[in-house]
Structure 1
């Protein structure tokens, strides 16, 4: 059973790797000329964010099972949970900003929300990098 949960955990982590690319992709939204092109590209990023949120839940639950079967320090467990919750909260806020930006199919709302989308994606990328580092080097 441990191997099944490890597989799910790694698969979820690979899917969440999108959050390392998201800051670079979010910066490209403004580079597109037309509002409809921005709308389409942001719509793809919104869908990928949803998939990343699902992967976050799968990774969190499978990791919880694996932690219950192993011996890790309390500090490591607290840091892991806090960072996962931070990613969950920030991706939820990011999804809300994207949803508001996507209300106009001509791309008129994107300019008002792109700054916060880029900022949140950078913070998410940094936190995900910290999570990967914490998972690779447990103490």
Structure 2
């Protein structure tokens, strides 16, 4: 049973890898001149964020099971939970900003929100990188 949860956990982590790509893709939204092209591209990023949030939940639940079967330090568990909660909160804010930017199909609202979207996506990418590093080297803590 543990192997099934390890598989789910790794699969969800791979799926969450989009948080390393979203900062680069979000910076490309401004390069598009047409408002409808920006709208379409941002709509794809919004869908990617939703998929990443689903993967975050799967990873959190499968990781909880795996932690119960192993002996990790309390500090490591606290750091893991805090990082997961921070990523969850930021991706929720990111989705909200994207939703507000996507209110107008002509792309008129995108310019107002693209700065916040880029900033939040960079912070989320950094937190995801830290989470992967923490998971790869659990014995450091």
Give the TM-score normalised by structure 2. Answer: 0.98
Q: Which whole-Å CA distance do the structure 2 matches of 1:2 and 1:69 have between them?
A: 8
| Residue of structure 2 equivalent to 1:36 | 36
Structure 1 stretches of at least 4 aligned residues deviating more than 4 Å after TM superposition: none
| Residue of structure 1 equivalent to 2:96 | 96
Q: 1:64: how far off?
A: 0.3
Q: Which whole-Å CA distance do the structure 2 matches of 1:77 and 1:54 have between them?
A: 21
Per-residue CA deviation, residues 70-127 of structure 1 (Å, 9 max, x unaligned), is 0000000000000000000000000000000000000000000000000000000000
Q: Which whole-Å CA distance do the structure 2 matches of 1:23 and 1:41 have between them?
A: 13
Q: Which whole-Å CA distance do the structure 2 matches of 1:88 and 1:25 have between them?
A: 20
Q: Gaps (5+ residues) in structure 2?
A: none
Per-residue CA deviation, residues 3-48 of structure 1 (Å, 9 max, x unaligned), is 0000000000000000001100000000001000000000000000
| Residue of structure 1 equivalent to 2:109 | 109
Give the TM-score normalised by structure 1. Answer: 1.00
Q: Gaps (5+ residues) in structure 1?
A: none
Q: For residue 122 of structure 1, give the secondary structure of its aligned residue in structure 2.
A: helix
Query: Root-mean-square deviation (CA), in Å?
Result: 0.3
| Residue of structure 2 equivalent to 1:73 | 73
